[in-house]
Amino acid sequence: MPDFLPLSPSAVPSNAAPRTWDLFCQVIDNFGDVGVCWRAASELVARGQTVRLWMDDASALQWMAPLPHPPGLTVHPWPASAADVPARVGEVVVEAFGCEIPAPFLQTLAAQAAADRPPVWINLEYLSAEDYVARCHRLPSRLMSGPASGLTRWFFYPGFTADTGGLIAEHDLAARQAAFAARGRSAWRAAHGLQDGDCAISLFCYEPPALPQLLAQLREQTASAQAGWQPQLLTTPGRATAAVAAARQADPRLESLDVHALDTSPQPQFDEMLWACDLNLVRGEDSLVRALWAGQPLVWHIYPQDDNAHHAKLDAFLDWLQAPAALRSFHHAWNGLAPADSLPRLTPGLLREWQACTLAARQKLHAQTDLIAQLLQFVAEKS
């Protein structure tokens, strides 16, 4: 199985002036928006900032980020009236994923801007490898109507190249990975019922069209008892576990496949799962980034859109990744861009090829400035 290779340490700027940030997160579904916003807020605090995280649904934090929260980070319900808004808006206001600032907060922001200095107002956008990201990154948008008319909002795009906003990487990520590597993956695997020789595959997905084909393939490989290749599937709670259950109900032969249903876990433990597995099938934005930092073979289940706009987005990512042919084919079948029966058959050699691809991509990312450092620098420039 592919070895786990931790990141190399890198320097993190620590000279950013302390400021108060108001970060707005409107939960759509699937926890990805919460995951990105919590990681961003936590890392801003770790680098000397104060963050008020405003959420319309903070329930996922009960397991994703249980108490106590880091000093300097507070979570607040979506402001419904002027009484819910602080006396002063922070020096930085961030709308995550284009969510709109609630009207009571916006009115306070506008009044403060008129009497004093406006905050640095940032629209933190979705992650993509498409060409438009570099063109639109850091562009201003002047508001022409409403209580904030005349103020400027800045577009900030995460991305995979040096001309974008980069990706979230905690200042201590390399140290955490190194500590995990020193302990070895055996302890994590043993705690989850796995043997060192097993091929551990994590599944965090929606409902992939080719999931039944993958499960049937893994069942056949388990039955053949191929030396050094005993697939063990670890399913995350929610849609992934439900999708596997539905596939097994439709095909009773799949009941013989070893499936380990995981519990919900805080983000650091989710990262450890990715480090411990030999193949990570991930979904959405936050887990894709974490799988890249893990350096293990990965497959991305991109969020499906009705107009199939996700097709171009997926191919742009695969182009940046320089995905080998089999990895590209697997992605296309997994995401419904190709027939499900075209799903490549997993082998140890294929996973080694895919890991080399992931590690090369991770090395490129590691040489770039991370998202939080870029945000801090941008705010310093605009303040």
How far is Cα 332 from Cα 208, in angstroms, rounded to an integer? 10
Residue 3 confidence (pLDDT) above 90? no
Contact 57, 24 (CB under 8 A): no
> What share of the chain has pLDDT > 70, as a percent?
97
Mean of the per-residue pLDDT values of the chain: 94
CA terminus-to-terminus distance, the chain: 50
At 290 the pLDDT is 98
Residue from 53, 50, 48 nearest 17 by CA:
48
How far is Cα 91 from Cα 17, in angstroms, rounded to an integer? 11
Q: What φ, ψ does residue 309 adopt, rounded to 5°? A: -65, -20
Confidence of residue 342 (pLDDT cuts 50, 70, 90): very high
How far is Cα 255 from Cα 237, in angstroms, rounded to an integer? 18
Residue 248 confidence (pLDDT) above 90? yes
Catalytic position from the list 170, 278, 285, 370: 285
Task: Summarize the confidence of residues 73-94 as an average pLDDT.
Answer: 96
Confidence of residue 32 (pLDDT cuts 50, 70, 90): confident
At 2 the pLDDT is 83
Residue from 258, 124, 120, 271 nearest 201 by CA:
258
Catalytic residue at 285? yes
Q: What φ, ψ does residue 145 adopt, rounded to 5°? A: -150, 170
Residue 166 confidence (pLDDT) above 90? yes
How far is Cα 109 from Cα 284, in angstroms, rounded to an integer? 32
Please, is 140 exposed, middle or buried when counting C-beta atoms within 10 Å of its C-beta (0-12, 13-18, 19+)? exposed
Please identify which residue in the block is written with the tokens 């979904």. 283
At 27 the pLDDT is 87
Contact 41, 61 (CB under 8 A): no
At 227 the pLDDT is 52
Question: In the sheet where 50-55 sits, what is the strand order?
Answer: 73-77, 50-55, 20-25, 92-96, 120-124, 152-156, 140-142
How far is Cα 221 from Cα 347, in angstroms, rounded to an integer? 10
Minimum mean pLDDT range among 31-45, 51-65, 110-124, 217-231: 217-231
Q: Name the region of 153 (left: φ>0; alpha: ψ -120 to 50; beta: rest).
A: beta
Q: Which residues pair with 156 in a beta bridge?
A: 124
Taking only the tens place, the pLDDT of each residue in 177-199 is: 999 999 988 999 999 999 878 99
Residue 12 confidence (pLDDT) above 60? no
What SS3 class is residue 355? helix
Residue from 226, 234, 236 nearest 197 by CA:
226
Catalytic residue at 263? no
At 13 the pLDDT is 54
Residue from 55, 45, 38 nearest 21 by CA:
45
Confidence of residue 49 (pLDDT cuts 50, 70, 90): very high
Residue 334 confidence (pLDDT) above 60? yes
Tell me the one-letter amino acid at 117: R
Residue 82 confidence (pLDDT) above 80? yes
How far is Cα 51 from Cα 107, in angstroms, rounded to an integer? 20
Confidence of residue 341 (pLDDT cuts 50, 70, 90): very high
Taking only the tens place, the pLDDT of each residue in 95-107 is: 999 898 999 999 9
Task: Summarize the confidence of residues 98-120 as an average pLDDT.
Answer: 93
Taking only the tens place, the pLDDT of each residue in 258-317 is: 899 999 999 999 999 999 999 999 998 999 999 999 999 999 999 888 888 899 999 999
The DSSP H or E segment spanning 155 is strand 152-156
Confidence of residue 254 (pLDDT cuts 50, 70, 90): very high
Domains, the chain, in order of start with CATH, read: 20-168+369-382 (3.40.50), 173-366 (3.40.50.2000)
Residue 10 confidence (pLDDT) above 80? no
User: For residue 101, what are the CA distances in angstroms to 78, 144, 301, 318?
Assistant: 9, 16, 30, 34
Catalytic position from the list 22, 33, 125, 272: 33
At 226 the pLDDT is 60
Token pair for residue 29? 């579904």
